């Protein structure tokens, strides 16, 4: 195959269009058929490169409508050298085998390269650490990211090292634990104390209209609305007086969906944003006026949202064993919690 990067063909797949798929765009149909191994943008690039053929003739129009009975061949390139490159960044590894690796991600570490963060990411670190043990995922020799934590959120993450593990873990996270095999628990220090000791926040999320990089609770009927459900439990309360006068709480949040910024948006939505959250907690910074001056300064200078992914459990893609991992609350957040616990 001759394409934009002139890589050799690693695998040829032949796919047939069924009646239910007739009329779909070629790129959409192929991306669905090859998911989760090959993204739609990758499919589009392969179409442009002439890697998709119908009856031996290259089809280069991604928006072409497919018809029942058509058989398309797609030449998938061999796994290439990692892009981005590996970097010798220390990792706190909780577990590793031939299929996957589980790490305790520190706050401040971006998961995946992107604008403004093309180097120094978890992916860079994993490529360096895993080396040749990575297999080609989606045509690239790289770690399989199946879920993410925000840059300033710490805690447990699992990453696939093989195509098979990537497919199985991606399916488990897409199912959001409805099968019972996936469990995710976070701890968060939030402003104020929720009225109920435990509760469910079932509120759809979409893009914020004031900043497209942020999320917001939106009407369910909005085109970009995605169901989001968080279960919370109050673990500790801080401050004197009745709950409505107490200053903060430590809560556990368990996810039944995995939307971007879900816990941060949901807790702010019920009036209890995460302490230190620069995006969703700004309106609550006046609560620091109730703190002693030395403590107020510590809270004001805390460099991140006080949110930690404490627990992750999942079924191993090869052995079918339920794996369960916990990461202790990091020292910076422990110190902040101690400050609040000392309030009379």
Judged by average pLDDT, the poorest of 32-46, 130-144, 300-314 is 130-144
Mean per-residue pLDDT for 168-177? 83
The string of DSSP codes covering 45-59 is HHHHTT-EEETTEE-
Positions marked catalytic = 150
Mean per-residue pLDDT for 26-30? 93
Phi-psi region of 131 (alpha: psi -120 to 50; beta: other; left: phi over 0): left
For 237-281, the pLDDT digits (tens) are 999 888 778 999 999 999 989 899 999 999 999 999 999 999 998
Q: Name the more confident of 176 and 337.
A: 337
In percent, how much of the chain has pLDDT > 70? 91
For 59-96, the pLDDT digits (tens) are 999 999 999 999 999 988 766 555 778 999 999 999 99
What residues does 159 pair with on adjacent strands?
101, 145
The whole-number pLDDT of residue 34 equals 85
CATH of 9-77, one of 3.40.50.1100, 3.50.30.60, 3.40.50.12160, 3.10.290.10: 3.10.290.10
CATH of 93-175, one of 3.30.2350.10, 2.40.10.220, 1.10.3720.10, 3.40.50.970: 3.30.2350.10
The ranges of the chain annotated as CATH 3.30.2350.10 are 93-175, 184-341
Please give the mean pLDDT across all residues of the chain. 89
| β-strands 154-160, 307-315 pairing | parallel
- Structural fold of domain 184-341: Pseudouridine synthase (3.30.2350)
301 vs 296: CA distance, rounded Å: 9
The whole-number pLDDT of residue 141 equals 65
The ranges of the chain annotated as CATH 3.10.290.10 are 9-77
Is it the case that residue 209 has pLDDT exceeding 70? yes
The whole-number pLDDT of residue 180 equals 65
């Amino acid at each position: 195959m001759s394409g934009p990067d002139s890589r050799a063909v690693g695998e040829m797949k032949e796919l047939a269009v069924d009646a239910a798929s007739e009329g779909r765009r070629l790129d959409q149909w192929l991306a669905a058929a090859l998911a989760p191994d090959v993204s739609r943008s990758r499919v589009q690039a392969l179409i442009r490169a002439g890697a998709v053929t119908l009856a031996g003739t290259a089809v280069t129009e991604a928006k072409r409508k497919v018809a029942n009975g058509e058989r398309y061949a797609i030449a998938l390139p061999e796994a290439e050298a990692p892009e981005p490159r590996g970097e010798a960044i220390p990792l706190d590894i909780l577990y590793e085998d031939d299929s996957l690796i589980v790490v305790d991600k520190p706050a401040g570490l971006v998961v995946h390269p992107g604008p403004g963060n093309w180097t120094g990411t978890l992916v860079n670190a994993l490529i360096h650490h895993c080396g040749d043990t990575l297999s080609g995922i989606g045509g690239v020799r790289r770690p399989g990211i199946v879920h993410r934590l925000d840059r300033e959120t710490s805690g447990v993450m699992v990453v696939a090292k093989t195509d098979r593990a990537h497919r199985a873990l991606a399916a488990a996270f897409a199912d959001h634990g409805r099968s019972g095999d996936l469990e995710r628990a976070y701890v968060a220090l939030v402003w104020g104390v929720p009225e109920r000791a435990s509760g469910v926040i079932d509120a759809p999320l979409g893009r914020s209209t004031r900043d497209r990089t942020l999320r917001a609770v939106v009407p369910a009927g909005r085109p970009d609305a995605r169901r989001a459900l968080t279960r919370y439990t109050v673990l500790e309360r801080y401050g004197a007086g009745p709950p409505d006068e107490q200053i903060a709480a430590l809560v556990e949040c368990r996810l039944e969906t995995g939307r971007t910024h879900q816990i941060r948006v949901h807790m702010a939505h019920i009036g209890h944003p995460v302490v230190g959250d620069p995006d969703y907690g700004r309106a609550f910074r006046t609560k620091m006026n109730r703190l002693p001056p030395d403590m107020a300064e510590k809270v004001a200078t805390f460099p991140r949202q006080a949110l930690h992914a404490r627990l992750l459990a999942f079924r191993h893609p090869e052995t079918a064993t339920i794996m369960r991992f916990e990461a202790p609350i990091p020292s910076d957040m422990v110190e902040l919690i101690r400050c609040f616990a000392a309030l009379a």
